Structure 1
Amino acid sequence: MLKHWPPLGTLRGFEAAARLGSFHKAAEELHLTQSAISQQIRSLEAYLEQPLFFRSGRSVSLTDAGHDLLSTTQALLQQLAVGIRRLGQYHKPNQLVLNTTPTFARHWLLPRLEDFRRQHPEVDLWIFSTDEVPDMTSQTIDLAVRDDISSQAECSFKVLHADRLYPACHPSLLAVPSEQRTTLHGEREMDWSHWAVEAGIDVGQKDQGLNFSDPGLLLDAACAGLGIALVSQLLSRQARANGLLQPLVEDTIRGPNWALLTHRDSENNPLARSFSEWLLSNLAAGSPVT
Structure 2
Amino acid sequence: MLKHWPPLNALRGFEAAARLGSFHKAAEELHLTQSAISQQIRSLESFLEQPLFFRTGRSVALTDAGFDLLSTTQSLLQQLAVGIRRLEQYRKPNQLVVNSTPAFARHWLVPRLGEFHRLHPEVDLWLFTSDEVPDMTTQTIDIAVRDDLSAQAECSFRVLLEDRLYPACHPRLLAAPASERTTLHGEREMDWSHWQVQGGEDIGQRNQGLNFSDPGLLLDAASQGLGIALVSELLASDLRSQEQLTPLSARQVRGPRWAWLVHRDSEHDPLAQSFCRWLEQRLT
TM bracket (short chain)? 0.7 to 0.9
Q: CA deviation at 1:251?
A: 1.5
Structure 2 counterpart of 1:18, one-letter code:
H
Larger radius of gyration: 1
Matches within 5 A, 1:62-77: 63-64=59-60
CA contact (8 A) 2:200 2:251 kept: no
CA contact (8 A) 1:99 1:130 kept: yes
Q: CA deviation at 1:46?
A: 8.0
CA contact (8 A) 1:156 1:264 kept: yes
Cα distance in 1 between the residues matched to 2:89 and 2:169: 41
CA 1:99–1:179 in 2, change beyond 3 Å: closer, same or farther?
A: same
2:24 aligned residue (18, 22, 27): 18
Cα distance in 2 between the residues matched to 1:207 and 1:89: 45
Cα distance in 2 between the residues matched to 1:198 and 1:85: 48
Cα distance in 2 between the residues matched to 1:173 and 1:189: 23
- CA offsets per residue over residues 33-62 of structure 1, 9 Å max, x none? xxxx6985796698689xxxxxxxxxxx95
CA contact (8 A) 1:199 1:251 kept: no
Q: CA deviation at 1:64?
A: 3.3
Using the size of structure 1 for normalisation, the TM-score is: 0.75
Q: CA deviation at 1:63?
A: 5.0
- CA offsets per residue over residues 58-85 of structure 1, 9 Å max, x none? xxx955379xx9xx7x979x85766544
CA contact (8 A) 1:94 1:271 kept: yes
Q: CA deviation at 1:122?
A: 1.7
Ranges in structure 2 where 5+ consecutive residues have no aligned partner: 18-22, 47-56
- More deviation, 148-157/82-91: 82-91
CA 1:105–1:63 in 2, change beyond 3 Å: closer, same or farther?
A: same
Classify the secondary structure of the residue corresponding to 1:113: helix
Structure 1 counterpart of 2:60, one-letter code:
D
For the aligned residues, what is the CA RMSD? 3.9
Aligned residue number for residue 51 of structure 2? none
Aligned residue number for residue 233 of structure 2? 233
Q: CA deviation at 1:233?
A: 0.5
Matches within 5 A, 1:71-220: 79=78, 84-220=84-220
Aligned residue number for residue 20 of structure 2? none
Structure 2 counterpart of 1:149, one-letter code:
L
Q: CA deviation at 1:190?
A: 1.3
CA contact (8 A) 2:24 2:34 kept: no
Cα distance in 1 between the residues matched to 2:280 and 2:221: 28
Using the size of structure 2 for normalisation, the TM-score is: 0.77
Classify the secondary structure of the residue corresponding to 1:151: coil
